[in-house]
Amino acid sequence: MNLSDQIIQFLLSGFATGAIYALIGLGFSIIYNSTGIINFAQGEFVMLGGMVTMFFLTSLHLPLPAALVGAVAITTVVGVLFERLAIRPIRKPTPLNLVIITIGGSILIRGLAMLVWGKDTHAIPGFSGEEPIQLGNASLLPQHLWIFGITTLVIIVSKVFFNYTISGKAMRACAFNPRAASLIGIDVRRMVLFSFIISSAMGSMAGFIIAPLTMTSYDVGIMLGLKGFCAAIIGGMSSGLGTVFGGIILGILESLGAGLISSGYKDAVAFVILLLILFIRPQGIFKRADSERV
């Protein structure tokens, strides 16, 4: 295997991992864009997506599509409860309070998942088998195609929703100026709830499409959440293509870093990029400092 073949494999692997980061990053940016909250419990929604699917498949023996729908439904319910019980009751929602509460929430969700499903790692079978697909000298799994497909679909749907529907536009309005939004008759609290519904559903999808590749356990949410957060920061917290590119850039750099430099510094690559971007371009690498969000 010569170097150019290796590089193609690094790029493909990085692209696949990056698509996952992008999908998780989108969950962060959607809540941020409609509420100004950075929801550190986003990683736990991803974990729930995988774990609930595993539970439906192995304990209740449901067919795969039913298990997936069930996973999205249950994670969404958790998202709603989280918003109702933890976010809404805060009297003075300062950013610091909210960050601490979402971190607390994530620890709670993780702990409950541990009590319910134990500490073991679980595997989920691939949606369309495990036979690798050859692309020249590089290879992919069928599950990677599912990841690309679902990520693309989610991006298109969210773009349409935020730009062309009344609810989507109302959510953007709340992000700009909650007070003005409520003056023109938008129920701001309801929009906050909406954003949690969307991002928890999105997180759970990320969770179940990656579980066949990465396996799942009660504590996968921490690292995946952090990587997703990195992707969103690189993309400047945009809920569109910015975050997607952010995720893919992160994935590819990690994979090239591990392959060409040293695998010991793989995670360092992600966090050095995060720090550099926060220092040099806190608005993300794709936009001007004062441009519109979403």
By CB under 8 A, how many residues form the interface with another protein?
Answer: 42
Comparing CB distances to another protein, the nearer of 61 and 288 is: 61
Task: List Cα–Cα distances, 237 to 25, 80, 93, 173, in angstroms.
Answer: 8, 22, 20, 16
By CB under 8 A, residue 210 contacts another protein:
yes
Piece of the chain touching another protein by CB under 8 A; list 15-23, 33-41, 42-50, 146-154: 15-23
The Cα angle at residue 239 between residues 225 and 232, in degrees rounded to 5: 35
Q: Would you give the binding string for another protein spanning residues 239-258, x where CB under 8 A is met?
A: ---------------xxx-x
Q: Do 193 and 10 meet the contact criterion of CB atoms below 8 Å apart?
A: no
DSSP per residue, 177-222: -HHHHHHTT--HHHHHHHHHHHHHHHHHHHHHHHHHHH-B-TTTHH
Comparing CB distances to another protein, the nearer of 192 and 213 is: 213
* Maximal CA-CA distance, the chain: 64
By CB under 8 A, residue 10 contacts another protein:
yes
Tell me which DSSP letter residue 293 carries: P
Q: Do 198 and 103 meet the contact criterion of CB atoms below 8 Å apart?
A: no
Q: Which residues ranging from 137 to 176 are in contact with another protein (CB under 8 A)?
A: 139-141
Of the candidate residues 33, 34, 217, 239, the single one contacting another protein (CB under 8 A): 217
Name residue, tokens 């952010």.
246
Of the candidate residues 4, 61, 89, 120, the single one contacting another protein (CB under 8 A): 120
Of the candidate residues 130, 136, 271, 291, the single one contacting another protein (CB under 8 A): 130
**Where does this chain bind another protein (CB under 8 A)?**
1-3, 6, 9-10, 13-14, 16-17, 20, 119-123, 125, 130, 132, 134, 139-141, 210, 213-215, 217, 219-220, 222-224, 254-256, 258-259, 263-264, 266-267
